[in-house]
Amino acid sequence: MKVIYVLSHSYRGDDYQNITKLGSLVHLYAQKLNSYTDRYQVECWWTEPRLSSPMSAQEDGITYRAFPALSYKYPYRYISLPLLKALRHEAGKGPVLFFLIGIKGKWTVFIPLFIKNVPIVMQQLTEGTGYSMARLKKRPWLLPLSVLEHMAYKNVDRFFLLFGRAKEEMKRYVEPERLDVIPFGKDFELFRPTDRNEARDALGLDTKKHYILFVGRINDRKGVRYLIEAMPGILEEYPATELLLVGPARREEILSGLKDLTRLRGLDQHVRFMGSIENDRLPPFYNASDVFVLPSTTEGFPFVLLEAAGCNTPIVATEVGGIPEFMQMIKKGIMVPPSSPEDIAQAVKSVFRGPELYNNRLRDGVLQYSWESLLSKTVDVFEELRGQYFPDDTAA
């Protein structure tokens, strides 16, 4: 059986034509499945408005395909009729399963309206469905499309949700037996504890300072401004402290505004904007840091917290999205209200005072999110659907 992953949006970098090397989470998902089992022919498809014709390439047994698309500045953007046409062609050829990324507010949610008689799995990608509906309500002219979403749900066999609250939300639209909490996984051989001083030496950091780490996109929803605003309160008690901000900024005006805020508060010597860092180079940052802070105002499943916990790095995070469920699992993190620099400062200082209270065996609580564990659940679903739709398919 062929498994085709379909991404809900386009690649944002300039090297979009290097389609086997874009490094999206869906690329990684396809690669992990391909290495986990040889029972499927794996492909990874997505849209690209900068293309005038489809592109295709193969690497390590995976076929990657990019299709021209329309692009609009509202939900359901990146609609690609060529991709939809190609999916319908694949549906008529033989045993195939479509794994669609995106539930609420993504154009991929409409694909099941046009394709039937093949198994379809739909994966939640970001925040809970409630957040996505709130975005749509700001644009009431799009609400009729929400009705079409619910119609499309009837043709989806299984939904993979990122966290339990999202599953509860989806029960309003879908029978519980079609809902599974199966997020993406993490490589805990990569994200593992190492010696802090060695990590700091490797990064050129001072072994005598305190370091606060943030990893993620630099945008409004990640709440980085509140983390910067927390720094004066932290520095009052711990003056030898630096904040490391790791991640890309999609909008230059947001990055410029945060740098202006840093200068205005006199924090130039205490805040470092590190820019994008490749995933396999992140573990030393976690291991070098005294605390990891995720100050989001909205959040889906907090994958970066898996990375921090895998390295036994103490965690402070806001009480939004899938974070409370994660914190309940690890039992040792500190949750704070969103948009509150004062609470962030107090939580960080609590970690500095007693790190042993917050870093002991964090890793043990997240190993259930290893790729091997999650792919095992995924393949169980794939095989169940394979038996329902293609009982005569005996391909290895």
> Phi and psi for 330 in degrees, rounded to 5?
-85, -25
Question: What pLDDT does residue 147 have?
Answer: 85
**CA-to-CA distance for 15 and 21, rounded, in angstroms?**
9
CB-based contacts of 373: which residues, under 8 Å, 6+ apart? 185, 367
Q: Which parts of the chain have pLDDT scores under 50?
A: 396
The reported pTM is: 0.86
Closest CA to 213 of 294, 312, 317: 294
- CATH 3.40.50.2000 assigned to domain 2-185+370-389? The reply is yes
Closest CA to 350 of 239, 255, 271, 234: 234
Task: For 45-92, write each residue's pLDDT tens digit.
Answer: 999 999 999 999 999 999 999 999 987 666 677 889 999 999 999 999
Question: What pLDDT does residue 250 have?
Answer: 78
> Phi and psi for 53 in degrees, rounded to 5?
-150, 160
Question: Half-sphere exposure of 311 toward its Cβ, with a 13 Å CA cutoff?
Answer: 25
> Phi and psi for 92 in degrees, rounded to 5?
-90, -5
Question: What pLDDT does residue 127 have?
Answer: 60
Burial class (CB in 10 A: 0-12, 13-18, 19+), 248: middle
3-state SS, residue 68: coil
Q: Do 34 and 60 meet the contact criterion of CB atoms below 8 Å apart?
A: yes
Q: Can 2-185+370-389 and 196-368 be said to share one CATH topology?
A: yes
Question: What pLDDT does residue 396 have?
Answer: 47
In the chain, where the domains are located: 2-185+370-389, 196-368
3-state SS, residue 157: coil
Element (H, E) at 227: helix 224-237
Task: Out of 2.40.30.10, 3.40.50.2000, 3.40.50.170, 1.10.287.1080, select the CATH number for domain 196-368.
Answer: 3.40.50.2000
CA pseudo-torsion sign 121, 126, 131, 135: negative
